[in-house]
Amino acid sequence: MQISITKTTNPAAKPAPDTLGFGKIFTDHMFLMDWTEGEGWHDARIVPFGPLSIHPASTVLHYGSEIFEGLKAYRRADGQVQLFRPIENIRRMNNSAQRMCLPQIPEDMALEALTEFVKVEQEWTPSAPGTSLYLRPFMFGNDESLGVHAVHNATYVLIASPVGSYYKEGINPVKIMIETEDVRAVRGGTGEAKCGGNYAASNRAGKRAEEKGYSQVLWLDGVHRKYIEEVGAMNVMFKIKGEIVTPALSGSILPGITRKSIIEVLKDKGYTVSERLLSIDELTAAMADGTLEEAWGCGTAAVVSPIGELAYEGRQYPVNGGEIGPVTQMLYDTLTGIQWGKTPDPYGWTVQL
């Protein structure tokens, strides 16, 4: 692929690590390419970061034709920059595109876009503990017409943001509220696609939870309102009587790459992992009789995030005394060890630039 590069004449100063937070600061450049039905992907370019100009009738503004991904570049102790399982994000984006009738991107083209862009921006990869360069590829339908149909024009963009921790709590336990009014997704809908609309529709419940002092909501399935699904931006796992339980990928849950990686690590270490239905009744019973030993969320942005309290129908259930548990800590250490190149990567998950 031919990528034209136009460097900024006005590079920004790199931020201090303690000012990072999540997704508020952006690097100097962005990658774009366009797709039309006749021409396919073309005009790949890295240009100075700045506003996009969009036609007011563009599909994305009216009908929500948008998908995205999230992955990170990590600074190793030896100064090298590496990505974590980028091919998994590329494949998931193509699955999301398929669901939303957006164009596929050939895997080698998507990987080249990512690596060439990160090479240009690699100085922005911070090195302080717990920091990384968050990469946000996204694609939107960009027909300049109000008809509702599969698009004939699309744009792919890649932006990057140096980040610290996603939650203000960092690795400290978060409080999660089990949502009983709104639902996030149903089978056959868009729950397993990473599309912007899923997040827009979840904001009302998220706002209610935040007002009550919770970080995010835990969704129940949309049909029975009975089975645990996932958290706002994370998959979820529980340790109940020694068994590690995570909801099976039913079609309405995002197939997380962190989830998949953790399952592999756990199985390697000899844990029993069950991907199955977990009902709210089973969970509340385990919370009430103390057999819920640990609970955590997992995702790229949040990494592994211990859950210190779950609330359901007005009742609060502390988990592991509100402390991070040993399995949660082990998973955090193992995963971040591989991601930051502090420990060997026996799985071949990391890709150095």
Q: In angstroms, what is the minimal distance from the CB of 88 to ligand COI?
A: 12
In whole angstroms, give the CA distance from residue 27 to residue 70.
Answer: 15
Q: In angstroms, what is the minimal distance from the CB of 258 to ligand PLP?
A: 3
Q: Taking CB under 6 A as the criterion, which residues in 23-52 touch ligand COI?
A: none
Selected range binding ligand COI among 4-12, 259-267, 299-307, 320-328, rule: CB under 6 A: 299-307
Q: In angstroms, what is the minimal distance from the CB of 345 to ligand PLP?
A: 17
Per-residue DSSP letters for 25-61?
---SEEEEEEEETTTEEEEEEEEES-PPP--TTBHHH
Question: Count of CB atoms within 10 A of residue 258's CB?
Answer: 23
Which residue in 233, 286, 304, 331 binds ligand COI (CB under 6 A)?
233
Q: Does 70 bind ligand COI (CB under 6 A)?
A: yes
Q: Which residue is nearest to ligand COI (CB)?
A: 70
Q: Taking CB under 6 A as the criterion, which residues in 300-339 touch ligand COI?
A: 300-301
Kindly tell me which of 199 and 317 has the beta carbon lying closer to ligand COI: 199
Kindly tell me which of 191 and 312 has the beta carbon lying closer to ligand COI: 191
Q: In angstroms, what is the minimal distance from the CB of 256 to ligand COI?
A: 8
In whole angstroms, give the CA distance from residue 138 to residue 127.
Answer: 26
Among 95, 100, 105, 89, smallest CA distance to 59 is for 100
Among 2, 143, 179, 115, smallest CA distance to 59 is for 143
Cβ neighbours for 56, distance < 8 A, ≥ 6 positions apart = none
Are the beta carbons of 253 and 243 closer than 8 angstroms?
no
Torsion angle, CA of 90/94/99/100, rounded to 10 degrees?
A: 90
Place of tokens 């100085």: 123
Per partner kind, with CB cut-offs from 5 to 8 A, the member of ligand PLP, ligand COI, none near residue 254 is ligand PLP
Quick one: 270 exposed, middle or buried, by C-beta within 10 A (0-12, 13-18, 19+)? Answer: exposed
Which residue in 162, 206, 299, 341 binds ligand PLP (CB under 6 A)?
299
Which run of H or E residues covers position 95? helix 86-99
Selected range binding ligand PLP among 13-21, 50-58, 227-235, 286-294, rule: CB under 6 A: 227-235
Q: Taking CB under 6 A as the criterion, which residues in 201-230 touch ligand COI?
A: none
Q: What share of the chain is helix, strand, coil (3-state, %, to 5)?
A: 25, 30, 40
Kindly tell me which of 151 and 193 has the beta carbon lying closer to ligand PLP: 193
Q: In angstroms, what is the minimal distance from the CB of 325 to ligand PLP?
A: 20
Kindly tell me which of 135 and 245 has the beta carbon lying closer to ligand COI: 135
Kindly tell me which of 113 and 280 has the beta carbon lying closer to ligand COI: 113
Q: In angstroms, what is the minimal distance from the CB of 194 to ligand COI?
A: 7
Q: Taking CB under 6 A as the criterion, which residues in 46-75 touch ligand PLP?
A: 70
Q: In angstroms, what is the minimal distance from the CB of 194 to ligand PLP?
A: 7
Kindly tell me which of 135 and 292 has the beta carbon lying closer to ligand COI: 135
Angle, CA 300 vertex, CA 112 and CA 168 arms, to 5°: 135
Place of tokens 């020694």: 242
Are the beta carbons of 183 and 225 closer than 8 angstroms?
yes
Site string for ligand PLP, 228-267 (x = CB under 6 A): --x--xxx------------------x-xxxx--------
Instruction: List residues near ligand COI by CB under 6 A.
Output: 70, 199, 233, 299-301
